[in-house]
Amino acid sequence: MSAPQRDVPGMLDSLFAVARRDLLLAWKRPGDVLNPLFFFAMVCTLFPLAVGPSAEQLTFSGPGVLWVAALLAMLIALNSLFLSDFDDGSLEQLLVSPQPLPLLAIGKTAAHWLTSGLPLVLVSPIVAITYRMPGSVVVVLMLTLTLGTMSLSLLGSIGAALTVGLHRGTALLSLLILPLSMPVLIIGANTVSLAAGNETYSAGVWALAAYAVGALSLAPFATAAALRISNE
């Protein structure tokens, strides 16, 4: 019983070390963080200019536009999740590490969400002003985007692991992840629409939370298996 307990701090240290390394690399390459953020902001701000300033139209289409823009912005950032590790050879070190590979995959996915998903959540209230969303709806938007982007990062890690090192892997990654992300997109946009219409939306929040928990439970193991397949 004592040996596994002594291993737990070592595994947690490895998880935090992987996440910290990726966060430091992202700090040195701010373009990787800002590009998805600018894409999200531009899509969300240009759409009202195309459809007109009608309050009813913006209220109706706002949740869907914000969620689609967030999904596409996350896809832009996913391709680089394991690419730098593949290029510099550190991915092979992860594969031969004595620590569980799914745990290391969680560390890399957490760093990816902190540098791509969390900024989208923090910027969303500013963008929501364009769609005349009240404060209560903005809170629901931020909550659903938090849960949804977590799920997208976890699901995206599977596709990124399968396509790492492939030529034109970005297009293949999109084809792999879009079907899995459709439930998140539909539930998230519908939940915000219900909140905007003063209807009950708690079921959607719970559904997104359950989806995030399920992705957290399964995605790291699928990502680890995909990394081993890609490096055979």
Identify the residue whose tokens are 């999200």. Answer: 40
Is residue 64 within 8 A of residue 185, CB to CB? The reply is no
pLDDT score at 26: 76
Gap between the Cα atoms of 61 and 15, Å rounded: 40
d(CA 187, CA 83): 31
Range of the domain at 166: 2-230
Q: Which residues contact 56 (CB under 8 A, 6 or more apart)?
A: none
How many domains is the chain built from? 1
Cα gap 166→119, rounded to integer Å: 28
Q: What is the pLDDT of residue 9?
A: 55
pLDDT score, position 130: 81
Count of Cβ atoms closer than 10 Å to residue 9 Cβ: 9
Q: Which ranges of the chain have pLDDT less than 70?
A: 1-10, 52-53, 87, 165-171, 232
Please, what is the end-to-end C-alpha distance for the chain in angstroms? Answer: 35
Q: pLDDT tens digit string along 51-69?
A: 766 777 777 788 888 999 9
